[in-house]
Structure formats: structure tokens, C-alpha cells
Structure 1
């Protein structure tokens, strides 16, 4: 992938291609990439000659190396996107991301885009405007696993020269389905825009950026993503505000992750 050339992306691998975000990214990149390699532990069907489907788990580093051969970039979306036991999260999110980064290094892939999460800072209060360089405040074990994902990306960038972008994805939905989404919504269009920008931005070493739509009530600063990746989101959850009560208790205070944070949300997984 030649930096500065935004029209074509070369050969791009998508892990977790059959997941919630994967199909949107696949569709968005299909016209820009020379070839897409779709990796998932579930069966995926290639659509035409410019796609290759690979059934593989991120636990299998040798399979990842084979899938990554000749690739210019990897978009890593595979993993657990929910609270779970620490062991599950270590195996799937942390070990899985290590395997992806290490396979990328072995296969001489230039750039890796990591699907991180807003939950790495989910315990900041809702009145706090968070910048990407502020200390992590994960809201649970899932958030902790994504802190480790970003740390691995930083280490591979610093140590091995990989170009790594960690996108702290907001609440990816067709449209907001709960009050919190008025702040945290990530529309499919903006999700595609952030991923494309993360693949094409020049002069990247390591970048962590919030990938969230331009919601008037958002908690997270977008200037980093705009200045370092060159993408400004266009959608705003405010147009759905009439669907939700103005006096919802979420807005009275508490952590940005709302019900996803706190002892009641975490103890079932700690005491398993």
C-alpha cells in the first residue's frame, strides 16, 4: 500500500469478517482494495475474483501467517465484543491480537488496524471530555482486554516498525437503540470512513483514535482522528433524540459506559 494513495488499498485482510462490523467494512473496502482476504472461524463465501475466504481462528498463528502473505494491511475485528470471564478475554482478545500482530510481522504486512473499544475509558464520568492520550479507565474486564490490545499495538509499532492504528469503536448500530447511544453511536457510514482513513493515512507509527459519529452529546475528542487520520465523521445521533426520554437517569451522572460499568456488571464474571 503506497501511503498517500487513497484510491486503492492493495491487498487487505479482514479478520472477523463475518462478525457485526466485518460485513460493513467488507462492503466499504470492496471497491477500493485490489483484493480482500476474509478471515473468520465461521464460513464466509468469497464474492468474485477479488475476494478470498479463509476459515481460520485467530488462535492459529500459522494459519494467520498464511492468510496474511502478500497483504498490505490487516483490519483486525475478530474477538469477544462483550463482558466475559478474564480467561476468555485473555485467550480471544489479548492472545488473538498478539497472534495477529506477530503474523503481520512475519508476513511483512505494513499496517494493522485494530478494533479497539470506547470501553477502555468507560469509567470516566459522563461530564468528562476524553482525549485519546488520557490514562485508560476501563469499565470492566472487556475494557481491560482492549487496553492490552492497544498496548500490544504500541509495542509492535515501537519495536518492529509496524504501522498500527487502534480505533476505539463507539456503539456500532444502524441507528441508536438506547439513550446512551446519543453520545456513543457509530453509524455504519462513519465506521467505514474511519477504517478507510486508518488504512490510508500517511506517516503513521501508532495512533489511537475514537471512532464515533459526530454526535452532539459525545464524550470523546475527535480532533486526533481528524488530524492524524484525516477523517471527520458526518452523522449525528441527535436526529434520533426524540425517540428517547430527556430525563433518562443516564444523563444524571455516572460512568460513560452506564450499565456496562459497576460491580453488578462485573461480579458475575469475576465470581464464575
Structure 2
């Protein structure tokens, strides 16, 4: 029976993925800093409470694990010190524990904000490539670019399969005009993670995590090469979205966030 460790399992995406990644032949080991809801009677779930920055906790969480989906970390702009400690050092702790445990498949949650200063449409009709060089828009975006580099290092040095997913916006539905381009439906999110887990020897990859939206501005080619097939489109919500101008840059409102200032976006 496969055991998948999901860090940040109590966060927004982790909460959405918990029911969608259940399988009869799979155990989900869920790690979060805060206490998680107890398993339902039909769940094959193991709960671990602890911090990404605690090497002993992460080492124990990696025991007897087949793959890791690393969603944990600060998900918005924050101070330089906190972003480094939690997102960068925390990801290093996870990768190093995985290496020592012999785990060969790691999926790292990157973000569109790793390339937030890239202009929409700059890559032509096919959209911005999954492996477009980073142009972060915040300290948070920098941290996501940094963990992509860490993933590359651990693949090149130790042969681990590392897939970095530049997630757009994963909610039940898009919230604004930008979301009509960058939305990742929860169901598509699960399809994407399943593709990342099952792809044969992917090596190191950077891919986009978005649905196949009518107004899409990024490339799905790299994700589709791993077996991802989106079945959702944000356009079905278009009539419910308040009118507004589409952003010029991928990062949207994050470009207006003062560096190092926690924000509620």
C-alpha cells in the first residue's frame, strides 16, 4: 500500500486535496503545524502535527513514505526572515529528510508569483512556458523560485524525481477577472497531482498548475506531457465575476504589495 506524505495538509489546497486524493490502496500521511480534523471512518489517514522547520518531525514524517506532496509554507507575502525560515529552509528540511529516507518522488508547490513580473502574452499564443525563468514579484515569489532551484539541485545531485508546480489560484471557484485565466479547479488539482505521482521517471520538471481555461495565459504543455488532462474551465463562472481589467503581469495585485508586509490577498 502506497503512503503519500502531504505537508501543509491543513491549508487551503491541502484541505481541498485531502478527500480528492483518497484511494483504497493509499494511505495519506497529513502533516500540519495546527491540529487537523480526525480521520473519517472511511479514511486511510495518518496525522502528524509539527513544523516544517523541525528536522526531527520531518524525518519521522518521512519514514516509510513513497512520495511527498509538499504544500506547506507561508502562502502570502511576509517578512524576509519568515519567508526564508519557513518556505526556503523548511523546503530544504523536507528535501533532505526525503533524501535520507530514500524517497524518490517529490512534488513541490511553487507559485505563479515565482514569475509574477512576466507580462501576460509575452510568450505569444501558447502562453508562458512552465519552465520560463523566474521573475518573482515578492519575497514570497522569491521563495518559490528558490525552492524550484533546490528541487533542481536535489534532482541533479541525488537523482530524485522533483516536479515543481507553479500553481495559479486553487479555490472552489475563481474570485476575479485574473482568476478566469489562472484558476486551478480542485478536481483538476487532484488530477494534476495524480499525474505528478504516476509519471514514469519525470526527472526535474517545472510545470503550470492551472485548468484549461478559455482565457488561459500559461502553457499546459509541460503538465500534459506528464499525463495531466484538465476537465474544467473557469469560463463557466465568467458571468458571476465582477467586471474589471485583466492584469498586465502574471502576479496581479501582488506587484502592489509592499515587500515584507504580510497581506491578506
TM-score, normalization by structure 1: 0.89
1:144 corresponding residue in structure 2? 142
Instruction: Show the 5 A alignment for 1:26-65.
Output: 26-31=18-23, 33-44=25-36, 45-48=38-41, 50-65=44-59
* Cα drift, residue 267 of structure 1: 4.1
State yes or no: 1:250 paired with 2:246.
yes
Aligned length: 256
1:210 corresponding residue in structure 2? 208
> Residue deviations 1:35-64, cap 9 Å, x none?
111111111223457221111111111111
State yes or no: 1:238 paired with 2:235.
yes
* Cα root mean square deviation, aligned: 1.7
Measured in 2, the distance between the counterparts of 1:154 and 1:85 equals 25
1:11 corresponding residue in structure 2? 3
Q: 1:76 aligns with which of 70, 76, 93?
A: 70
Structure 1: unaligned runs, 5 residues or longer = 1-7
CA gap of 1:110–1:182, structure 2 versus 1, over 3 A, is same
> Residue deviations 1:111-161, cap 9 Å, x none?
111111111111111222211222111111111000001100110011011
CA gap of 1:13–1:130, structure 2 versus 1, over 3 A, is same
Measured in 1, the distance between the counterparts of 2:74 and 2:8 equals 10
1:269 corresponding residue in structure 2? 261
Structure 2: unaligned runs, 5 residues or longer = none
* Cα drift, residue 24 of structure 1: 2.1
> Residue deviations 1:38-96, cap 9 Å, x none?
11111122345722111111111111111111110011111011011111110110001
| Partner SS state of residue 135, structure 1 | coil
1:108 corresponding residue in structure 2? 102
2:197 corresponding residue in structure 1? 199
User: Does the 8 Å contact 1:130/1:221 carry over to 2?
Assistant: yes
Measured in 2, the distance between the counterparts of 1:116 and 1:55 equals 23
| Partner SS state of residue 114, structure 2 | helix
User: Does the 8 Å contact 2:137/2:254 carry over to 1?
Assistant: yes
TM-score, normalization by structure 2: 0.91
User: Does the 8 Å contact 1:132/1:210 carry over to 2?
Assistant: yes
User: Does the 8 Å contact 2:176/2:242 carry over to 1?
Assistant: no
> Residue deviations 1:176-199, cap 9 Å, x none?
111110101111110111111111
User: Does the 8 Å contact 1:41/1:55 carry over to 2?
Assistant: yes
> Residue deviations 1:185-232, cap 9 Å, x none?
1111101111111111112111110010111111110011101x1112
CA gap of 1:267–1:13, structure 2 versus 1, over 3 A, is closer
Measured in 2, the distance between the counterparts of 1:147 and 1:136 equals 6
Measured in 2, the distance between the counterparts of 1:269 and 1:30 equals 37
